Structure formats: C-alpha cells, structure tokens
Structure 1
Amino acid sequence: MKIQGKMFLWLSVFVLAVAILYGVWSKEPAGTTALFLAFGLCVMVGYYLAFTARRVDEMAQDNTEADVADEAGELGFFSPHSWQPLALGVGSALAFLAVAVGWWLLYFSLPVIFIGIFGWVFEYYRGANQNQ
C-alpha cells in the first residue's frame, strides 16, 4: 500500500499545479473549485493509504521481487450454467428503453426483472442444484 499512497500524493501535486494554472488562465470559478476539490480528495486518499501502510504488513505490491499471483485469492462462487443474468439483462434493457420510448414498457420489463431476481436468489434451493 506504500506505492499507492505515494502515487496519490504525487497525483495531488499535479492536480494542484493544474488547478492553479487553470484558475489563473481561465478565471472560471466552477472548474477551479472542482480542481481544488480534486486536489483535496487526492491528498486525503494518499494520506490514508500512506498512514495505513505503516500499520499493515508488507503486501505483494510493495515487494519488488513479488509475482502477480502472490496476492491472488479465491474470487468467490459463480453459477456456471445460470440463465438468470440473461433475464435480468433483458428486463433491464427493456426498463431503460422505457425511459426513451414510453413508460408503458415498464409493465413488460418489471415482471421479467422480478422473475430474474427471484430465479437467481432461489436458484440453489430446488432441482439438480439443491444443496443437501
């Protein structure tokens, strides 16, 4: 985490320089304020990461001899043959299309979304995939 803290602190120096130059040249208050706020956010995140790096053990990204796989862990369980994401994708696409075409399309998209959510949540409660 040391390297991330240093990266954010160096980024904050750059954003501060850009904010000062932008403020002097443009004399536009909204963009200048946004850049100074971005500078503040970079300082906060960089300070937090640098401060936290002193408390935790050395991680793989801090070791120059480390491999990419040194910090790899289990990502979780994903259903290999689930059709529910397709139902949610179709229902969501219809719902977003309802914003452009007409709100009446929500009557068709909401049942598809609810069926997809219900099927995804209860996918392993019945049938061949039931946990015993």
Structure 2
Amino acid sequence: MKIQGKMFLWLSFFFLIMAVVYGAWSKEPAGTTALFLAFGLSIMVGFYLGFTARRVDAGAQDNKEADVADDAGELGFFSPHSWQPLALGVGGALAFLGVAVGWWLLYFAAPVIVVALWGWVFEYYRGENRTQ
C-alpha cells in the first residue's frame, strides 16, 4: 500500500500544478474546479493508503523480491449477495423522480430509502448474531 499511497500523492501534485496552469491559461471555472477537486480526491486517497499502510503488515506488493504467488490467498470477507442495494437504488430513483414530477413522491421514497439503508447496514446482525 505504500507504493499506491505515494503514487496518489505524486498524482495530487500533478493535479495541483495542472489546475493552476489550466486556470491561469483558460480562465474557465468548471475545468479548473474539476482539477482542484481531483487534487483534493488524490490527497485523500493517498493519505488514506499511506495511513493504512503504517497500520497493516507489508503486503507482497511492497516487497521488491516477491513473486505473484506470494499475494495469493484470502483477501477478506465480501458479501456474496444482497438485495438491499437494489431497494436503495429504487428508493433513490423515486426520490429523484420526485424532484422532477412532484415533491409528494418523496413521501413514498423516504420509507423505502430508510428501510433499505437499515436492512443493508444490519443485514449481518440476523440469525445467530442477533441480540435478544
């Protein structure tokens, strides 16, 4: 992760230089703002990766002598399936449709969003993990 963090920090400096040059040359606010936002995003990702690399063990990608097979194995837990993102997407679509059609549609979208978000957050606190 150290290498990726350094790459994003170098990329952020590139975005900063390009934002200043583009803003001075073109006097166009939308592209300049987008480049400054890309600078901020690169700083955030680079800082996160650098901060996380200090807290976890070095991976195979940080070892110059490592082979491809050294990075094999389990990488973590990933949810096999979940219906909650679909329900949250339907609720979000209804909410945005409410902006175009009428604000009354938000009365139907808000409960769908709340129930889907609640279900997604707590989907692994059911069954044997449930507290009584």
TM-score tier, shorter chain, comes to: 0.5 to 0.7
In 1, the alpha carbon distance for the partners of 2:53 and 2:125 equals: 41
Task: Name the Cα RMSD after superposition.
Answer: 4.5
* Corresponding residue number in structure 1 for 2:77: 75
Pairwise mapping of residues 79-118 of structure 1 onto structure 2 (< 5 A)? 80=81, 82-117=82-117
TM-superposition CA deviations, 1:24-49 (whole Å, max 9, x none)? 534x49649x65x939x75xx47x83
For residues 65-117 of structure 1, what are the alpha-carbon distances to aligned partners after superposition, in whole Å with 9 as ceiling and x for unaligned? 33274475222445x4x544433332221112111111011122223334434
CA shift in 2, pair 1:15/1:61, >3 Å: same
Q: Does 1:58 align with 2:58?
A: yes
What is the count of residue pairs matched by the alignment?
120
Distance 1:122 1:20 in 2: 46
Asked if 1 retains the 8 angstrom alpha-carbon contact of 2:13 and 2:39, the reply is: no
The answer as to whether partners of 1:60 and 1:70 remain within 8 angstroms in 2 is no
Match of 1:38 in 2: 39
Q: Give yes or no for contact 2:88–2:116 (8 Å, CA) kept in 1.
A: yes
Identity %: 53
Mapped partners of 1:54, 1:124: distance in 2: 31
Give the counterpart of 2:128 among 125, 128, 131. 131
What code does the residue aligned with 1:131 have?
A: E
After superposition, residues 11-26 of structure 1 pair within 5 angstroms as 11-12=11-12, 14-15=14-15, 17-19=17-19, 21-22=21-22, 25-26=25-26
SS class of match (1:4): helix
Contact 1:95–1:105 under 8 Å retained in 2: yes
**Under a length normalisation based on structure 2, what TM-score does the superposition of the two structures give?**
0.53
Q: Distance in 2 between matches of 1:29 and 1:6?
A: 30
What secondary structure does 1:131 align onto? Answer: helix
> Relative to structure 1, is the Cα distance of residues 100 and 59 closer, same or farther in structure 2, using a 3 angstrom cutoff?
same
